[in-house]
Chains A and B, each alone.
Chain A
Amino acid sequence: MQNPVLTVKNLSKAYKDIEAVRDVSFSVAAGEVVGLLGPNGAGKTTTISMLMGVLEPTSGSIEILGKPLRGNRSEVMAKTNFSAVYAQLPGNLTVWQNLYIFCLLYEVPAAKKRANEMLTAFELTEFRNTKCGLLSSGENTRVMLAKAMVNSPALLFLDEPTASLDPLNAHLIREKIHYYAAEAKAGILWTSHNMHEVEAVCDRVLFLSHGKILLAGDPKLLPQEHGKKDLEELFITVAREPLSLEL
């Protein structure tokens, strides 16, 4: 693979007797959108948490833009960002204050200007002085995505980024992220339970089950390759009978 922005090798995470992630290896190329799929408890969030540097792996290695995450956390994290439904921004600060603070945390040049740009880009100008805690879940999702883009990351982790959006807004956000990946040559790791969305957005998908990658490939071709009607049917099979597909 050319220009991998993310290279994961033999990544594992164990908690006492539970192996949450088992020997996972994959990479994400510049400009590529990779879907990380799997049923609840498959190990998606554990994997993403390790990639974000907030969970220490039991074994394995993570390289971002050719640099190991271990020992270079701050430097490497400056080139990544994330948005997740479970990590909202402080509700007691306004939209602009949150964006400005995260511009500073990522040491974005001309931080105030960048915060204003993100307000415009995500159609949040009217909420500039509104506290995030007063926004609807859809508006909050847009703020989190704006925060995720403040540093123009080379690698973006999106954990169910459109989960609380209406179909129109979800479509607009998908377009925006897709455009960003292509334009900025950014790698994106995307988790979602919406298989239609995954088919529309992802260049490649990885199916996780019981902490292992069971399947990987083009979301448009994978269902046929495994005798399934569509990605959703394949997902259900992986979730119900992972052993029948284990390679």
Chain B
Amino acid sequence: MSLIRVSAIILRQFFLLRKNITRICNIFLWITLDVILWGFTTRYLNSVGQATFDFVPVLLGAVILWSFLIRVQQGVILAFFEDMWSRNFLNLFASPLKVNEYILGLIVASITTSSAGFAVMTLIGSFAFGFNILSLGLPLFLFLLVIFLFGLALGIVTTAFVFRFGPAAEWLAWLVPFMLGPFAGVFYPIAALPSSLQPIAKAIPPSYVFEGLRSLVIHGTFSPEKLILGAVLAAAYLVLAYFVFIQMFKIVLKKGLLTRFTSET
């Protein structure tokens, strides 16, 4: 693996972002609106019905983590889409660039944008709604790690499918996190799902993170077992996503689909 070639992929994203206010807005605007919307919603929920339960850390914390997951996934796919939209795949893959170097470049690009997004969400949560998510301490960073690994896996696997099925499948990349939303237990416990749907929830790492977060915030208890299970699942999905991408790349080479990205829009 050549780190110089990886740096070329990262640098391309940096050049695109630098001095480009529209692209920078895209990183921050959605998450800012999400946090503000849910911040006010939780404030309202706290004020009605003489609530004895503080919704802010539970719901706002969940929103921040869920938005982080989407940002990580979209960090990967947006970096990939930049190459798709500018019809650059032929230039890239007729060069010495290896697939693993390309994927690592996408991952680092995603780390940069998603970390910046998380920082902004933390600041808004803290200053506008008095909820400092960092006060959750070490468990938060472990939750974030699980979410991050799974977000990368989602990003890589969705790009793999767009790579295989072409630009017309772009919508898939935006849909995937929302398909998982109902099963992730972001706003409600997994037990609230019908028993037939609970196995789906148990098969995806975010459900363990959000169950763990609720347990930590409401009861003050941290469950390492759930976190480990979520982390193992997330790592497994990441490895699986990498192999899916490799397989899709092989199909792309076999069917000559790279040239499709130079003609199809």
Residues of A within 8 A of B (CB): 13, 15, 45-46, 49, 52-56, 73-75, 77-78, 80-82, 84, 86-94, 97, 100-102, 104-107, 147
Contact = CB atoms under 8 A, between A and B. Distances in A.
Contacts of B232: none
Interface in B1-44: 2, 4-5, 7-8, 11-12, 15-16
A70 B110 CA distance: 31
A90 B86 contact: yes
B86 A105 contact: no
B87 A101 contact: no
23 contacts: A15-B256, A45-B259, A46-B256, A53-B94, A55-B258, A74-B98, A77-B96, A80-B94, A86-B262, A87-B262, A88-B87, A89-B88, A90-B86, A92-B16, A93-B16, A101-B8, A101-B12, A104-B7, A105-B5, A106-B95, A106-B96, A107-B4, A147-B91
Contacts of B258: 49, 54-55
Contacts of A82: 94
B142 interface: no
A91 B95 contact: no
B191 to A, nearest CB: 48
B253 interface: yes
A132 to B, nearest CB: 9
B4 to A, nearest CB: 5
B5 A104 contact: yes
B219 interface: no
Nearest to B16: A92
Given A55-B258, A56-B254, A105 B92 contact: yes
A77 B90 CA distance: 13
Contacts of B16: 92-93
A148 B141 CA distance: 45
A53 B8 CA distance: 20
A62 to B, nearest CB: 13
Contacts of A75: 96
B contact patch SS: helix
Nearest to B2: A107
A87 B91 contact: yes
A contact patch SS: mixed
A153 B5 CA distance: 17
Contact of B253 (A15, A54, A90, A106): A54
Contacts of A93: 12, 15-16
A237 to B, nearest CB: 29
Nearest to B263: A86
B87 A87 contact: yes
B176 to A, nearest CB: 26
B256 A55 contact: yes
Contacts of B111: none
A51 B173 CA distance: 32
B175 to A, nearest CB: 26
Contacts of B262: 86-87
A102 B91 contact: yes
A53 B15 CA distance: 27
Given A86-B263, A87-B91, A101 B96 contact: no
Contact of A101 (B11, B256, B259): B11
Given A46-B256, A55-B253, 15 more contacts: A13-B256, A54-B256, A55-B258, A56-B253, A73-B96, A74-B98, A77-B95, A93-B15, A97-B12, A97-B15, A101-B11, A102-B91, A105-B95, A105-B97, A107-B4
Interface in B46-101: 82-83, 86-88, 90-98
